[in-house]
């Protein structure tokens, strides 16, 4: 008659021993189980998500994108695993792909609830859904790319503008010589930190060095070629040489850059790419005028005819 009692005692003891073994082997930080985790800091009730990864304030060892305001606010917060059962009468539904937390190891999707601090009665209401928490701080790849993109832009094989002159390669002292540049928008694909980065370089301004000590720019004027009948007119990029000789005209084109990461939005690249063109050689001559008394109609072979 005592055998059933012995079996009953054995049944009750077994769960206690198993429970003790599980507690002793619990990982650190402990994996969320869906049970409530109180947060000692007061979380921002107007929006938990920010652009920076912060350690959670409850010494859980987890990281999340959330504000951690001072603890003097009126609320306390808790989290439960997303898609877990809060109570038998309240089971949350899940959307496929909504709870993917793959930015680092130990990713878990949790829902946040808040309640007024004691001595108020605890009444938990939903504050934010599907927030990712991680067992280690995720790398902010976009921030790391942003820190390196200016250097990568300077390394891009941007082709310089081509430079032309009218007249050229010879011109006259004291006359307008028209200069112009032809620069194009250029695009490049690179891989940076394992991500697909697309760079666009757009010509923005130009700095002209006419070779006689005259500089002009940066200016938005690239100039343009003139029709033959207008060569010699003053333009925004033309220059008058006051001495004969051989000159090297140098042009620097200043490119603005933008980039995208994995097909995302266009982002500006700090600074500019300053790309020098090959020098344009130009010889400046003088013009000499002579007056002659011969009538070329009467003497077609006369001097000056």
Structure confidence by residue, pLDDT tens digits, 136-191: 888 888 999 999 999 999 999 999 999 999 999 999 999 999 999 999 999 999 99
Residues 212 and 120 in one domain: no
Residues 39 and 166 in one domain: no
Residues 82 and 183 in one domain: no
Residues 185 and 277 in one domain: yes
Residues 77 and 197 in one domain: no
In DSSP terms, which residues pair with 114 in a beta bridge? 77, 125
What letter does residue 279 receive in the DSSP assignment?
A: P
Query: Using CA atoms, how far apart are residues 26 and 35, in angstroms rounded to an integer?
Result: 15
Q: Which of 66-75, 193-202, 230-239, 289-298 is predicted least confidently?
A: 66-75
Residue 160 lies in domain: 141-285
The SS3 call for residue 183 is: coil
Whole-angstrom distance between the N-terminal and C-terminal Cα of the chain? Answer: 147
Is residue 73 included in any domain, yes or no?
A: yes
Is residue 129 included in any domain, yes or no?
A: yes
More confident residue, 12 or 204: 204
Give one word for 174, left, alpha or beta, with left for phi > 0 and alpha for psi -120 to 50: left
Residues 129 and 66 in one domain: yes
- Tally of structural domains, the chain: 2
Per-residue pLDDT, averaged over 17-31, amounts to 35
Residues 6+ apart with CB under 8 A from 191: 197
Residues 149 and 92 in one domain: no
Is residue 174 included in any domain, yes or no?
A: yes
Residues 199 and 268 in one domain: yes
Dig out the tokens for 277 from the structure. Answer: 């063109």
Is residue 277 included in any domain, yes or no?
A: yes
Give the pTM.
0.61
């Amino acid at each position: 008659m005592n055998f059933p009692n012995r079996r009953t005692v054995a049944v009750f003891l077994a769960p206690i021993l198993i429970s003790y073994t599980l507690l002793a082997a619990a990982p650190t930080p402990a994996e969320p189980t869906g049970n409530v985790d109180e947060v000692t800091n007061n979380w921002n009730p107007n929006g938990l998500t920010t652009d920076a990864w912060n350690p959670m304030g409850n010494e859980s060892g987890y990281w999340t994108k959330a504000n951690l305001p001072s603890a003097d606010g009126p609320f306390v917060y808790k989290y439960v695993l997303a898609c877990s059962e809060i109570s038998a009468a309240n089971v949350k539904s899940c959307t496929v792909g909504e709870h993917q937390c793959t930015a680092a190891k130990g990713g878990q999707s949790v829902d946040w609830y808040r309640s007024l601090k004691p001595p108020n009665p605890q009444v938990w209401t939903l504050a934010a859904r599907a927030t990712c928490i991680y067992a280690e701080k995720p790398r902010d790849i976009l921030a790391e790319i942003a820190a390196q993109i200016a250097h990568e832009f300077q390394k891009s094989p941007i082709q310089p503008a081509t430079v032309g002159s009218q007249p050229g390669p010879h011109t006259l002292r004291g006359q307008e010589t028209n200069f112009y540049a032809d620069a194009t928008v250029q695009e490049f694909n690179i891989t940076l930190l394992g991500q697909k980065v697309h760079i666009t370089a757009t010509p923005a301004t130009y700095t002209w060095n006419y070779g006689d000590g005259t500089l002009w720019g940066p200016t938005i004027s690239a100039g343009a070629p003139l029709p033959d009948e207008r060569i010699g007119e003053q333009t925004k990029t033309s220059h008058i040489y006051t001495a004969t000789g051989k000159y090297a005209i140098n042009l620097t084109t200043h490119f603005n850059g933008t980039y995208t990461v994995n097909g995302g939005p266009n982002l500006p690249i700090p600074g500019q790419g300053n790309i020098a063109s090959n020098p344009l050689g130009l010889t400046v001559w003088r013009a000499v005028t002579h007056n002659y008394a011969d009538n070329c109609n009467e003497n077609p072979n006369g001097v000056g005819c």
